[in-house]
């Protein structure tokens, strides 16, 4: 029985890591509004409906206004996606990958 316990514990750690990241796609609007995002896959760990520091963000075909200081794990801006920094001084921290594809605007 003792030999199985570490394996079960490790599998819980691995599965927790796999499901901790959500992927959010933009609908347009304010970063700080849950109405601006749709959960594309994964689980929102805090259930606020907005991307957090451990989430992947995809902006495509619309504009997201950065109205608060935020961080995310990955940020991809695809065709006709706009991340607008026009409101005061705001900070965006991308923890791992930043990708700007064709016709993306920051």
* Predicted local confidence at residue 20, as pLDDT: 56
Query: 2: pLDDT confidence band, cut at 50, 70 and 90?
Result: low
Number of domains in the chain: 1
Domain of 71 in residue numbering reads as 21-100
Residue 7, domain member (yes or no): no
Q: What is the pLDDT of residues 20-72, one digit of tens each?
A: 589 999 999 999 999 999 999 888 887 899 999 999 999 999 999 999 999 99
State in Å, rounded, how far the first CA of the chain is from the last one: 55
Distance CA 53, CA 31 (A): 13
Residue 5, domain member (yes or no): no
Residue 27, domain member (yes or no): yes
CB 77 within 8 Å of CB 56? no
Residue 71, domain member (yes or no): yes
Residue 74, domain member (yes or no): yes
* Predicted local confidence at residue 87, as pLDDT: 65
């Amino acid at each position: 029985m003792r030999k199985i316990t570490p394996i079960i514990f490790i599998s819980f750690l691995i599965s927790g890591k796999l499901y901790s990241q959500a992927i959010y796609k933009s609908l347009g609007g304010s970063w700080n509004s849950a109405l601006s995002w749709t959960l594309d896959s994964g689980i929102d760990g805090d259930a606020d409906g907005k991307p957090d520091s451990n989430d992947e963000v995809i902006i495509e075909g619309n504009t997201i206004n950065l109205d608060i200081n935020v961080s995310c794990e990955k940020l991809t801006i695809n065709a006709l996606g706009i991340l607008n920094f026009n409101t005061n001084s705001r900070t965006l921290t991308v923890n791992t990958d930043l990708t700007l594809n064709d016709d993306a605007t920051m």
